[in-house]
Amino acid sequence: MIIRSARFVKSSTELSQCPSDHLPELAFIGRSNVGKSSLINILTGFGKLAKTSGEPGKTRTINHFLINDNWYLVDLPGYGYAKVAAKQREKWTKTLKEYIIRRENLLCLFVLIDPRHKPQKSDIEFMEFLGINSVPFARVFTKSDKMSHDSLNRSVRDYDTIMLENWESLPVTFITSTVTKAGRTAILDFIEESMNNFSK
């Protein structure tokens, strides 16, 4: 897939505020500070499309970006640590779950994982939530340039081992780096394939 145009459309704090034109959507989510905004910018080729920050929990709304005038890339609030009150986190969680479960035109949710850390309970539990609710998703291991090849493979295997305790098979998996642009073509090809299947 070639990204010819990308523009911010709107930020929403509730599902009812999201665009109503029913274009297909591909959404990105992950624990705070996993490199989500940076990956979105690399994928689209527009360096400042999504705002990056060193402050965990910076994305606090459902952000829709119109790509090639025919599908939405959606930047979702991260889960896990954020410097906000518990009540605000609860509201984010409720809104996220509503979007993920009820958004009929959501083709795939890309779950970003930082492989530099041991398997995180929040990542495992979130993916189990997706599985229980039959939400199509893919795993995206980020920051691969910051690890040796052996360490990266070991981290992915650790996640595989834990997930296969409850899963019959593993989801589609991508290895990415915003420095080397590893995984960019593979993800864009996957999005294009998902779009083609959606239109059939």
Q: What is the structure's pLDDT at 89?
A: 67
What digits encode the pLDDT tens for the residues 148-188? Answer: 999 999 999 999 999 999 999 999 999 999 999 999 999 99
Class of the domain covering 6-199: alpha beta
Mean pLDDT of the chain: 88
Report DSSP state, residue 144: G
Q: How far is CA 129 from CA 24, 181, 183, in A?
A: 22, 29, 25
Return the ∠ at Cα 112 (arms to 125 and 183), rounded to 5°. 145
Which range, of 46-50, 68-72, 108-112, 129-133, averages the lowest pLDDT? Answer: 46-50
Q: What is the pLDDT of residue 82?
A: 55
Q: Does the structure show a pLDDT above 90 at 94?
A: no
- CA-CA distance, 145 to 58, in Å (whole number)? 23
Q: Name the pTM for this structure.
A: 0.90
The answer on pLDDT for 59 being more than 60 is no
Candidate from 43-47, 76-80, 98-102, 126-130 with smallest mean pLDDT: 76-80
User: Quick one: what percent of the chain has pLDDT higher than 90?
Assistant: 70
